[in-house]
């Protein structure tokens, strides 16, 4: 697992996790993501959601990778956003 991480992402799992946390923190700071959640726990939750996919995802299953990614990003963005858009945001809020 660790070797695969390094090969594919050129990151250690810890670094990968760190990037996620940084992205979430930036979103909170920008006022786009809710500030009442615990960033490390939420990061683990999201990574779990993604990492667990190897248990169930079937390349020839009902939904393709893109559709699964869309489901998960819709769910996660709705859960994390301050504005909680119920449709996939087509454009970013202007700042």
Q: How far apart are the C-alpha atoms of 78 and 85, rounded to whole Å?
A: 6
Q: Is 16 in the site for a copy of itself (CB under 8 A)?
A: no
Report if residue 30 touches a copy of itself, rule: CB under 8 A: no
64 contributes a contact to a copy of itself by CB under 8 A: no
63 binds a copy of itself (CB under 8 A): yes
Phi, then psi, of 33 in degrees rounded to 5: -110, 145
Taking the CA of residue 89 as centre, how many other CA atoms within 13 Å lie in the half-sphere pointing to its CB?
A: 16
Q: Which residue reads 């990037």 in tokens?
A: 19
Kindly tell me the burial class for residue 52, based on how many C-beta atoms sit within 10 Å of its own C-beta (0-12, 13-18, 19 or more). exposed
Which of the stretches 3-11, 18-26, 85-93 binds a copy of itself when contact is defined by CB under 8 A?
Answer: 85-93
Residue with tokens 């990003």: 73
| Binder of a copy of itself out of 9, 49, 64, 65 (CB under 8 A) | 49
Contact residues: a copy of itself, CB under 8 A: 34, 36-38, 40-42, 44-53, 55-56, 62-63, 67-68, 71-72, 74-76, 78-80, 82, 84, 86, 89-90, 92
């Amino acid at each position: 697992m660790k070797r695969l991480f390094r090969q594919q992402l050129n990151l250690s799992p810890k670094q990968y996790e760190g990037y996620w946390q940084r992205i979430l923190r930036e979103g909170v700071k920008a006022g786009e993501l809710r500030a009442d959640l615990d960033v490390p726990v939420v990061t683990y939750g999201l990574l779990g959601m993604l990492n667990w996919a190897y248990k169930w995802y079937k390349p020839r299953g009902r939904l393709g990778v893109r559709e699964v990614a869309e489901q998960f990003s819709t769910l996660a963005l709705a859960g994390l956003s301050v504005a909680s858009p119920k449709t996939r945001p087509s454009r970013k809020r202007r700042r």
